[in-house]
Amino acid sequence: MDEKRRLYIRQELEKATFKITAIHSGEIGTGFFISSDGYFLTAYHCVENKLKPDETCFHLKLEFSDGEARTDDFMLLKGSNKAADLAVFKSTYPHPGFVPLGLITAEHFTHRITAPGFPAVHKEQGKSLGFYEGTISRFNEANKEQFETDAIQGTGHSGGPVYDYDLDRVVGLVQDEMSSEEMKKAGFALRFDALFEKWPELKSDSEQVGARWDRRIRDDSESEKDKDKDEAKTGCGRRGFGFVNPNRAMGNRAGY
């Protein structure tokens, strides 16, 4: 993959991904935005209130890579599934990025992926967002809704996106790390087939988000090639990657 394209994708993923803390328990994980109007996903176990198992309103803190932080009450929304370890929320705050969801099949085994998140978040080295590379290995035979990957790092990584470089889609949500007794450096991510079946409007919206995402990647790649040509002629340095305002790129959409 072209290194400039990879860098652009990582910058966009960084804008969409954040640290999430459940105020009632202190549990910390990762979350990410999937739409311009504020819908975001995380792992249910990151926000669960075990003292109130039927809770549908959660007091959460969202911390972004640019230093911004928001603390508020968030209602559990359509598509959430405690048994599948998936929580869906919506934020009313402005956010700088969002990512398209996609599906995988066995044909996509060995695809290259990156999984941004906050593993080892309770330690000094885990306070900032990290990117962890790997591949899609196989489906979980005990739970076909999950796939195995070597990109998952452990505590704090749960709830983060798994981005497939070949499909240019987020194809999974980080859930579990396998114990070292079972397998070294491997874990499971949730696939989105069941989420799309339960929430068909999301699948349609994700396709629209994906089309815009593809154009942004293509347009940025083309603009970077033009910049390189100009720099070769003038000797001027690059100014870095531009950011497309998500509301301008997608348009303000009504809720799902």
- DSSP per-residue letters across the chain: --HHHHHHHHHHHHHHEEEEEETTT--EEEEEE-STT-EEEE-HHHH--TTSTT--EEEEEEEETTS-EEEEEEE--TT-BTTTTBEEEE--S--S----B----GGGTT-EEE--B-TTTTSGGGSS-B--EEEEEEEETTEEEEEEES---STT-TT-EEEETTTTEEEEEEEEEPPTTT-SS-EEEE-SHHHHHH-HHHHHHHHHHHHHHHHHHHHHHHHHHHHHHHHHHH-PPP-------HHHHH------
pLDDT of residue 44: 97
Q: Which amino acid, one-letter code, is at 102?
A: G
> For 190-209, what is each residue's pLDDT tens digit?
999 999 999 999 999 999 99
pLDDT of residue 230: 52
- Residue 109: alpha-carbon gap to chain centroid: 19
Is residue 159 within 8 Å of residue 150, measured between CB atoms? no
pLDDT of residue 210: 96
pLDDT of residue 239: 30
Q: Which residues of the chain are under the pLDDT cut of 50?
A: 228, 231-256
pLDDT of residue 192: 98
pLDDT of residue 240: 31
- Interatomic CA distance for residues 210 and 248, integer angstroms: 15
Q: Which amino acid, one-letter code, is at 203?
A: K
Domain ranges of the chain: 16-98
Q: Which homologous superfamily is 16-98 in?
A: Trypsin-like serine proteases (2.40.10.10)
pLDDT of residue 89: 98
Which pTM value belongs to this model? 0.84
